[in-house]
Amino acid sequence: MNRIEARFARLQQDGQKALIVYVGAGDPNLESTRQLALAFDRAGVDILELGVPFSDPLADGLVNQLAAQRGLESGTTPPRLFETVAAIRRESQLPIVFYVYFNLMHRCGVAKFIADAARAGVDGLLVLDLPLEEADTYEQLMRDAGLCAIWLVAPTTPDARIATIVKRGTGFIYYVSREGVTGMQVKVAGNLADRVALIRKHTSLPIAIGFGISNPAQAREVAFAADGAVVGSAVVNQIARLGNSPDLVPSLEAFVKSLADGIKSG
């Protein structure tokens, strides 16, 4: 069983919800990414999303765009990121998802990218800009490699389209709680329960909600409505503030633990 599937199965058995944390890989450098991954594992994170730095991150707000820029400036490339994941794997079995743009995979060679990701210890890919209609080869390669192909559902996705998307997903479904790009919000969307119920009509896969969750109370509220919460920009913003400070890892570990504690006690 894939690590993502195994983690959700364990959480369901324990009556718990998932905390999924996103960071930009290589921000401020890949050694920090490795250390943060291990710290997040200690803090109670269930799945780590690593944003693969890309020069045109069209689905991301300013906070994550700048993280991608810093990742590129630190010399983060797919081969170096695969080495970092392999280093994490020597100490942790925390499920890892790459948040990646298809153009980058295409440039590397899709089959090679997927094979290298699986070999390094990646568990799933969330490809931001690959339409379902063009994903047959990608999905077959993912199945062959044992990786989860994670798909997004948006607030504007029609019911019929939701049914089509979720049938193709593995691991979990990522529900984007707001229209637009990533970024912190003052409050979560008010119709989450209804949207999650609509998605559940079509799938038994776990549903995680992301985009805009920035504190423990919001994470708990969102996790209550679904199977997990994704926190990204709020974490990335603190990485940007602390940079190469020696406080980076302990500060982020404490913040992420507050998110995990909020979800697990909710």
Active site members = 49, 60
Sequence-ordered list of residues with C-beta below 8 angstroms from that of 223, at least 6 positions apart, any chain:
17, 18, 19, 209, 229, 263, 266
**Which of 219, 171, 213, 175 shows the shortest CA–CA distance to 196?**
175
The pair of structure tokens assigned to 184 is 């912190």
Enumerate the β-bridge partners of residue 71.
none
Measured distance CA(25)–CA(176) in Å, rounded? 21
Residue 37 and residue 210 in contact, taking contact as beta carbons nearer than 8 Å:
no
Measured distance CA(58)–CA(65) in Å, rounded? 8
Residue 207 and residue 177 in contact, taking contact as beta carbons nearer than 8 Å:
no
